Amino acid sequence: MSSEVETSRDETNSYVRGILRLRSAPLRMTTRGYAPILFAACVSSVFAQESPTPTPSAIAEESPALSISPDESLSPPPLPEQTPSASPARNVRLSFVPPPLEGRISLGIYDSKGKLVRVLHHEADLNEFKIGADALVTQWDGKNDNGEDLPAGRYHARGYLVGSLKVEDFGQTAAFPPENSNASVKVNLMPNPLANDKRALVELAAGIDPYGSYLKTNGGLPLFTISKSPNLGSVSIMKKSDKSVDIWQTDATVSHQFRISNVDQMMAFDCGEFELK
């Protein structure tokens, strides 16, 4: 291994040890001091392990001679019952260095066509991940959001670290969302210095579930909870400025308006492609 590679590895380990504190201490990060480290640090590795099936072994034991009368005969012992071997276990280990920004992480698994097939983490704190020697670590069992096994093939892991977004509640209004509200809006994010990328662009949308409304990517990855309001009928989004969006959510009778500021306080990160066996 060349001295340049060894130097990069030492810089990576030094950086991660600085941001991944002991498990008992809160993980706090700042953007200061990380700009010089301009390299992609996401690594994904796949481990497909077959569950071992114990194989009975026959051990010959000496026994005293037995007297058998001519009328007696020996029947062969019954064969042991054959049991099918267990199917291989699918276990994907993902390790990544989080971008240098305080906030929460949403991480998704995408298929070869770019479709989101699994929300692996949604608004997760850094201390919810396992802390490895030089990165945060998480696992994927090869299933989709419905708990179904996905076919073998190439998959991609990527996510966002969401900073301090601000929500203003304008209350209920009789007016429904304006006609120029959209299904999604484009927002510029903070560049991730670890990936040496330019100012990233993300397409944001608003979604609802039985528990309320949330901000998500246009591909469906949840990023930020807007409100905990059950039984919503619809939701829409409109860009207010480069750093804020307006959200309208409606039930059967009224509309409710929110404004989310600091939407540019997010960083994208990429954990690369891997193969699921």
- What are 71-114's pLDDT values in tens digits? 444 555 555 554 444 345 688 999 999 999 999 999 999 999 99
Q: Can you give the pLDDT at residue 225?
A: 96
Residue 227 pairs in a beta bridge with 213
Residues of the chain above pLDDT 70, percent: 64
Q: Which range (36-40, 85-89, 230-234, 250-254) has the least confidence?
A: 36-40
Token pair 């590679």: residue: 5
Residue of higher predicted confidence among 84 and 245: 245
Q: Can you give the pLDDT at residue 176?
A: 64
- pLDDT bin (cut points 50, 70, 90) of residue 14 is low
Q: Note the pTM of the prediction, 2 decimals.
A: 0.69
**φ/ψ (deg, to 5) at 91:** -145, 115
Task: Check pLDDT > 60 for residue 3.
Answer: no
Q: Can you give the pLDDT at residue 251?
A: 84
124: number of CA atoms within 13 Å, CB side? 20
Separation CA 229–CA 118 (nearest Å): 24
Quote the tokens at residue 14: 């030094």
- pLDDT bin (cut points 50, 70, 90) of residue 200 is confident
DSSP one-letter string for 199-264: S-EEEEEEEEETTEEEEEETTS-EEEEEE--SS--EEEEEEEETTEEEEEEE-SS-EEEEEEE-TT
Token pair 């009975």: residue: 56
Q: Can you give the pLDDT at residue 80?
A: 52
- Residues 92, 276 contacting (CB under 8 angstroms): yes
SS3 of residue 6 by DSSP: helix
Task: Check pLDDT > 80 for residue 5.
Answer: no
Q: How far is CA 217 from CA 73, 114, 173, 232, 237, in A?
A: 77, 13, 26, 19, 12
What is the average pLDDT score of the chain?
A: 76
Q: Can you give the pLDDT at residue 72?
A: 46
Separation CA 134–CA 180 (nearest Å): 47
233: number of CA atoms within 13 Å, CB side? 9
Separation CA 133–CA 116 (nearest Å): 29
Q: Which helix (DSSP H) or strand (DSSP E) does residue 182 occupy?
A: none
Q: Can you give the pLDDT at residue 91?
A: 87
- pLDDT bin (cut points 50, 70, 90) of residue 10 is low
Q: Can you give the pLDDT at residue 203?
A: 95
pLDDT tens digit sequence for 135-183: 999 999 999 999 999 999 999 999 999 999 999 999 987 666 666 667 8
- Cα-Cα-Cα-Cα dihedral of 56, 59, 64, 67, to 10°? 50
In whole angstroms, what separates CA 17 from the centre of its chain? 22
